[in-house]
Amino acid sequence: MMTKDHLIPASELIAQLDALTPQQMKAFDVPGASIAVIRQGRVLWSKTYGLKHVELGHPASPGTVFEAASLSKPIVAYAVVQLCRRGRMALDAPLSVYLLQPFVRDDARLQQITARRVLSHCSGLQHWIRAEGEQPAIQFDPGTRFSYSSLGYQYLQQAIEQVTGEPLAATVQREVLSPLQMAHSSMVWREDYDIDAAHGYDEDGRRVEKWKPLEAVAPASLHTTALDYARFMIEMLRTDDDDIRQMLQPQIAANAAVSWGLGWGLETSAAGAAFWHWGDNGSFKAFCLGYRDAGSAVVILCNGYNGLKMAEPLVNAALGNGSQPHPHPAFEWLEEFYS
């Protein structure tokens, strides 16, 4: 069980990570990475490694922003919880009541898709629209089983924008990024990112054209730093907020060891109960995991296609308790997801 009393000394942890991270980056051809480790609800240590732009030799720095990809989803979930807290939305109201045009036509089950079901990935909607001209469809009765869906978040985005009367980026800025002092983070491109943003590299080590989203994409467009996202993780570690606790309550099972809360994956292992998420925008990868009972968490951002392959050893080093590393159900689930 992960507890505050059984953590390895901070100096030992930092030395391990400082040796392991460059090794993992070299092994998996990851140009740049940024890590933040949280203990007892505070940032214990953070460091950035490697290059944000290989061809120009520009080093990554603590202010380098990475594409966080699906780490956007917990941020959007938190924004929705804040809107619900003030009565602007309701978790269990059909999203269709907020919109004039139906997201899915000619399917009465649309009335069963709520914010809660989108955030816990049991909306019945497919993951993505893959083909040009393809229309959204409900593939199973909402609420009956888990199926990861980024499309559900796009539906939720339409509802949020209708309720607030503003673009999603403005809502996220007001409800999440500004209150948590995430000064380097945004759901849309900023001028300073022309200097501060990392460039992504594909599986062959080639630089990918930089995505500069002019409009927010709820499931995927967050740009952030490891230290900024650590501020969000610290907020999620709070134990005195009922709404945060609700986000980390299981809503539906994904498999025997992994369930989903509101925006977060939840795992149970020998180390205890943890919340987690990963990000994958192709040439950018991200992973974060936290234990509320111990007040510990880690954030990993990188700009290489193989970045997720080095995540588990780094998570074990950052959050280990001095015993043998144990398998994380989150990574086992990810293997199944990608297979």
Specify whether 50 is located in the same domain as 196.
yes
Tell me, yes or no, whether 220 and 284 share the same domain. Answer: yes
The pLDDT confidence band at residue 258, using thresholds 50, 70 and 90, is: very high
Average pLDDT over every residue of 162-167 = 98
Residue 288 maps to a domain: yes
pLDDT band, very low/low/confident/very high, at 131 (cuts 50, 70, 90): confident
Asked whether residue 184 is assigned to any structural domain, the reply reads: no
Enumerate the H helices of 28-92 as residue ranges. Answer: 72-85
**Domain carrying residue 82:** 76-169
Q: What is the pLDDT of residue 270?
A: 84
Parallel, antiparallel, or unpaired for β 66-69 and 222-224? antiparallel
Q: Residue 177 domain-assigned?
A: no
Indicate whether 178 belongs to any domain: no
Residues 56 and 199 placed together within one structural domain of the fold: yes
Are 280 and 300 in contact, with CB atoms under 8 Å apart? no
Angle at 22 between CA 18 and CA 25, to 5 degrees: 140
Domains identified in the chain, total number: 2
pLDDT tens digits, one per residue of 297-335: 999 999 999 999 999 999 999 997 545 567 899 999 999
Residues 200 and 65 reside in one and the same domain? yes
215 and 300 share a domain? Answer: yes
217 and 333 co-located in one domain: yes
**Two tokens, residue 134:** 């393809």
Count the Cβ atoms, other than its own, within 10 Å of residue 330: 23
Over the stretch 168-212, which tens digit does the pLDDT of each residue have?
999 999 999 999 999 999 999 999 999 999 999 999 999 999 999
Instruction: Give the CATH number for residue 199.
Output: 3.40.710.10
**Is 182 inside any structural domain?**
no
Distance CA 12, CA 14 (A): 5
120 with 224, same domain: the answer is: no
176 belongs to a structural domain:
no
The answer on 99 and 131 residing in a single domain is: yes
Within this chain, do residues 43 and 142 fall inside the same structural domain, yes or no? no
Do 80 and 65 have their domain in common?
no
User: Would you report the helix, strand and coil content of the chain in percent, each value rounded to 5?
Assistant: 35, 20, 45
> Same domain for 43 and 156?
no
**pLDDT, tens digit, for every residue of 210-233?**
999 999 999 999 999 999 999 999
